[in-house]
Chain A
């Protein structure tokens, strides 16, 4: 028999404790970019029982995404927002999912992110990363942003770290390895960085603000 919403919530409370689960369930987290970072962050947060996820990406699933992103072969050509929502619903049926199939710009950022408690920067382009972080910290100074920089290549897993840059800005990654230098992205290392981001989100929701 398919579990009811109440059974689902009870099972999460059994694992996380009721206090913590209540914090996760009442939260809204935005994920900007649904590639190697964003799709993996989304899976981790949906499994943890974060109540509402806002997923933002304009792109479609490509065959070259499948080695590190949480999509399936049959989803090639579909919008990432819609494909990921489908996969998340199979994993965690009671997570509320909001989709924005648009390109995030300086103009629409505030509107699209206003109702989120925490924002994950999960783009692949360095300029887009910098633009989102600057826009959020300048225009929405009360929001938390958890960003990522440096997770390319097959370098050691142990160089991926989480760092607190300001009270509202956390940065995950090795901050060095750049796809521009011809490095490929390897699923395990990208997932490590995504896990750092997802983990910091859950810590912030639990009022644990140190890294």
Chain B
């Protein structure tokens, strides 16, 4: 199981890019953290989620 934003999901083996494609996140408005480190945007396709991973997708909203 992979924990994403607090939710346990059965998606080990998928890449971060594959996970994001199935969601409504706007890829231009997010940062992705995996096990305490930021995942570089260029590595979303090659970063495969493993059992026990903890991931957080931070999605920015406008205003400042």
**Interface residues, chain A, CB within 8 Å of chain B?**
33, 35-38, 122-127, 129-131, 133-134, 137-138, 141, 147-152, 165-167, 169, 171, 173, 175-180, 183, 185, 190
Contacts and interface: CB of A to CB of B under 8 A. Distances in A.
B60 A149 contact: yes
B6 interface: no
A131 B58 CA distance: 12
B36 A134 contact: no
Contacts of B38: 134, 137-138, 141, 166, 169
Chain A binding site: helix, strand, loop or mixed by DSSP?
A: mixed
Given A134-B38, A167-B36, A169-B33, A179 B28 contact: no
6 contacts: A33-B64, A38-B64, A127-B28, A134-B40, A169-B33, A175-B58
A166 B62 contact: no
Interface bracket on B: 10 to 19
Interface in B28-64: 28-31, 33, 36-38, 40-41, 56, 58-64
Contacts of B40: 134, 138
Chain B binding site: helix, strand, loop or mixed by DSSP?
A: mixed
B64 A123 contact: yes
A200 to B, nearest CB: 16
Contact of B64 (A35, A127, A165, A176): A35
Contacts of A38: 64
Contact of A122 (B28, B36, B58, B64): B64
Contacts, number: 90
Given A134-B31, A137-B31, A138-B40, A165 B58 contact: yes
Given A165-B33, A166-B38, A126 B60 contact: yes
Contact of A130 (B30, B33, B63): B30
Given A130-B28, A137-B38, A165-B33, A171 B58 contact: yes
A176 B61 contact: yes
A36 B63 CA distance: 9
A126 B61 contact: yes
Contacts of B41: 134, 138
Listed from nearest, the 9 A-B pairs whose CB atoms lie closest are A178-B61, A124-B64, A137-B38, A179-B63, A152-B63, A126-B60, A129-B60, A126-B62, A37-B64
A138 B58 CA distance: 15
A33 B30 CA distance: 19
